[in-house]
Chains A and B, each alone.
Chain A
Amino acid sequence: MVPTWHYLALAAALFTVGVIGVLTRRNIIIIFMSLELILNAVNINLIAFARHWGSVDGHIFAIFIITVAAAEAAVGLGILIAFFRNRDTVNADEIDLLKW
């Protein structure tokens, strides 16, 4: 049987990859993908802990997160399309009209 901490290490690695992606990538689509990575790291954590505690709560939470992530992605892509129509770019560095 795989010990719980293996799953936690995997989740922590995914989380780190996701955070680095959000912070360093400039293409908004890639930033979205990195956000999804973080959410999936959370899901792996929840499932691993659910097995560790022998409780079903973590599974239900993971399903909720998948659902909410889908809704969030839909809204995010909608906003991105509206932005793209006006600016012709998906580069985060060009979101620069509002500052200070």
Chain B
Amino acid sequence: MSVPVTDLLRILPELVLAVFGTLIVLVEPFLRRTQKSLTGYIALIGALLALLSTLAPAMYPGPAFNGLVLVDGFSIFFHFLLLMITTLTIVASFRYLEREGLPQGEFYALLLFATIGMGLMASGNELVLVFLGLETVSIATYVLVGFRRTEVRSNEAAMKYFLLGSFATAFMLYGIALLFGATGTTFLPDIARQLAEGGGMRTLALMGMGLLFVGLGFKLALVPFQAWVPDVYEGAPTPVTAFLSAGPKAAVLAAFLRIFFTALEPLSGSWVWVIWATAILTMCIGNLGALMQDNIKRMLAYSSIAHAGYILIAFAAHSELGIAAVLFYLVAYALMKLGAFSIVSHVSAGEAHQSIDDYAGLHARHPLLAACLTVFLLSLIGIPLTGGFFGKLYIFTAGIDANLMGLVIVGVVNSALSAAYYLRVVKVMYMSEPQGNLAVVPVPASLVFVLTLTVLGTIGLGVFPSPILQFAQQSVLPLP
């Protein structure tokens, strides 16, 4: 049995990443201690080539491997987004790994393997493949979170992430098994057909859907499944935190959207209100949690919970407008979170200085870093002229369009509330005197590169949102 060439073209980005990930593992043992940073450049080339090779599936959209993989605008959009996230994470990790003396080859290889999983989740059209993609991401990120293995906090974060993550996976699997039992298939369009025709066992399908929601909600850090997020984000190496908050989140959301908007669409009457309630809880708990934090990584972790809540507003809108809003928001969100965490990883050298007070007088020490962090924080609030503003605007528009006034009002109030803790950091940076003797570490070229791209992207999306918005609108999932 031979595999058609078009099938391979449709998973070309994943193939490229697999080749480069394996290459890194093979090359790394033969490098001298001083040459290990070479693996970073190999990973960078791999990620960029994968980004380029996304054009291949973009030119030949369609199903591959008997319908396991479905390449459409939606999956192409996510491939561009996810590969951008991986590329920026690789560059942001260059100096971090050298400074912390962490093994480099394994780090980059795991990052690339995680990206393969994320790509498969974005284009998976069948529950087994989505599960395999999710596990590829999860297992790679379990290791990445515990990467500072002599550091107790990193161990703890990895342990918690592993225990809760695999518990969530088990729930999700039970849900998938019940869905399979209810419909006799694991292909998303076939499940939808079965459920629409009233075939299959409806109660079983509803139970399966509930368990699937619990599993995916865990990975997406929705309330009440968010307890692991602050601990894991705090204990993980900061570039990994940046990656976690942007990449796997986007990929899980892609799978979430595809499963619920294609396979479980016939049951939408039963899940829309669940999303509605979860959105309110997630926004409120995320923002209230963030208000009480003194550690900047934990603060950003709670803020990412709150942002998942905003995204759910557009999800609950249950419209093509809503999906486009989610896609646009994810791009803006990834840029600002990656940027903010890169600055945190530079300032809190050695993971020691994570308190918000350590940012006192950052303006005097590093005027440009302080300015960049201010841009990201303003964008996270949703101030005009930043990507975060248009992201929220489109989400709220989609909400109003779907008559979800209550949800939108809660969202707006929460955005206003969130200004309090973001502006606190800005105030500390500009108004307070520097305290202690934090050394002024020059900013390495790799960080300059990441910050330039993320700042330009954040402001660019705030001034010219239309190209990305149009791309997002062309990439929505077709709703019946």
SS of B interface (majority): helix
Q: Mark A49-92, 1 if CB is under 8 A from B, else 0.
A: 10011010110110011001001100110111011001100001
Using known A-B contacts A75-B142, A98-B231, determine if residue A82 contacts B155 with beta carbons closer than 8 Å. Answer: yes
Instruction: Note all chain B residues with C-beta closer than 8 A to A31.
Output: 163
Contact status of A95 and B156, CB under 8 A, knowing A61-B128, A65-B173: yes
Are B173 and A39 in contact (CB-based, < 8 A)? yes
Docked complex Cα distance between A55 and B235 (Å):
45
* Bound-complex Cα distance A2 to B264 (A): 31
Assess whether B155 is in contact with A64, with CB atoms less than 8 Å apart.
Answer: no
Contacts of A8 in B (CB 8 A): 181
Contact status A49-B143, CB under 8 Å:
no
Check A52/B163 contact, CB under 8 A, given A82-B158, A95-B156, A98-B156: no
Are A42 and B166 in contact (CB-based, < 8 A)? no
Overall SS of chain A's interface: helix
Q: Tell me, yes or no, whether B437 is within 8 Å of chain A by CB.
A: no
Which of B55-63, B146-154, B248-256 lies on the face that meets chain A?
B146-154
Please name all residues of chain A whose beta carbon is closer than 8 Å to the beta carbon of B151 when the two chains form the complex. Answer: 86
Query: CA separation between A87 and B167, bound complex, in Å?
Result: 23
Evaluate contact between A83 and B180: CB separation under 8 angstroms. Answer: no
A87 adjacent to B181 (CB under 8 Å): no
The answer to whether residues A87 and B178 also contact, given A75-B142, A98-B234 and a CB cut-off of 8 A, is no
Per-residue contact bits, chain A 1-35, to B (CB 8 Å; 1 contact, 0 not): 00000001000000100100010000010010001
The answer to whether A79 and B159 have CB atoms under 8 Å apart is yes
Residues of A within 8 A of B160 (CB): 95, 98
CA distance A80 to B166 in the complex (A): 14
B155 touches A83 (CB 8 A): yes
B152 touches A97 (CB 8 A): yes
Cα distance A84–B313 when bound, in Å? 42
A95 to chain B, nearest CB (A): 5
A68 CA to B170 CA, complexed, in Å: 11
Min CB distance B413 to A, Å, is 24
- Report how far A48 CA is from B231 CA in the complex, Å: 39
Partner of A28, one of B159, B176, B177, B230: B159
State whether the Cβ of B315 lies closer than 8 Å to any Cβ in chain A: no
Closest to A46 in B: B177
- Across the interface, A45 reaches (CB within 8 A) one of B138, B149, B166, B174, namely B174
Q: Chain A residues near B128: list those with CB within 8 A.
A: 57, 60-61, 64
B135 touches which one: A53, A72, A76, A100 (CB < 8 A)? Answer: A72
Write the nearest CB–CB distance from A74 to chain B, whole angstroms: 9
Docked pose: A55 CA to B380 CA in angstroms = 49
Residues of B within 8 A of A58 (CB): 177, 180
Question: Which of B132, B159, B231 is close to A99, meaning CB atoms less than 8 Å apart?
Answer: B231
**A15, A46, A98: residue with the most chain B Cβ atoms closer than 10 Å:** A98
CA distance A58 to B127 in the complex (A): 11
Q: Are A72 and B235 in contact, CB atoms less than 8 angstroms apart? A: no
Q: Which of B264-321 contact A (CB under 8 A)?
A: 292
Partner of B170, one of A42, A71, A87, A99: A42
Contact B180–A98 (Cβ < 8 Å): no
Cα separation A64 to B134 with both chains bound (whole Å) = 13
Q: Does B131 interact with chain A (Cβ within 8 Å)?
A: yes
A65 to chain B, nearest CB (A): 6
Q: Are A83 and B156 in contact (CB under 8 A)?
A: yes
Determine whether the beta carbon of B174 is less than 8 Å from that of A41.
yes
Shortest Cβ distance from B215 into chain A, in angstroms?
A: 11
A79-B158, A86-B155 known; A35 and B174 CB under 8 Å?
no
Find A98's partner among B138, B153, B167, B185 (CB 8 Å cutoff).
B153
Q: Which residues of chain A come closer than 8 Å to B143, judged between CB atoms? A: 75, 78-79
Pair A45/B186 contact, Cβ less than 8 Å: no
For the complex of A and B, the 7 pairs showing the least CB-CB separation, nearest first, are: A53-B184, A49-B181, A38-B170, A98-B231, A45-B177, A83-B155, A42-B173
Task: List, sorted by A's number, 10 A–B pairs whose CB atoms are closer than 8 Å.
Answer: A8-B181, A49-B177, A65-B173, A72-B138, A76-B162, A78-B143, A79-B162, A97-B152, A100-B230, A100-B292
Question: Which residue numbers of B lie inside 8 Å of A, CB to CB?
Answer: 128, 131-132, 135, 138-139, 142-143, 146, 149-153, 155-160, 162-163, 166-167, 169-171, 173-174, 176-178, 180-181, 184-186, 230-231, 234-235, 292
- New A-B contacts (6) at CB < 8 Å, excluding given A15-B174, A31-B163, A86-B151: A35-B170, A38-B173, A71-B139, A83-B156, A97-B156, A98-B231
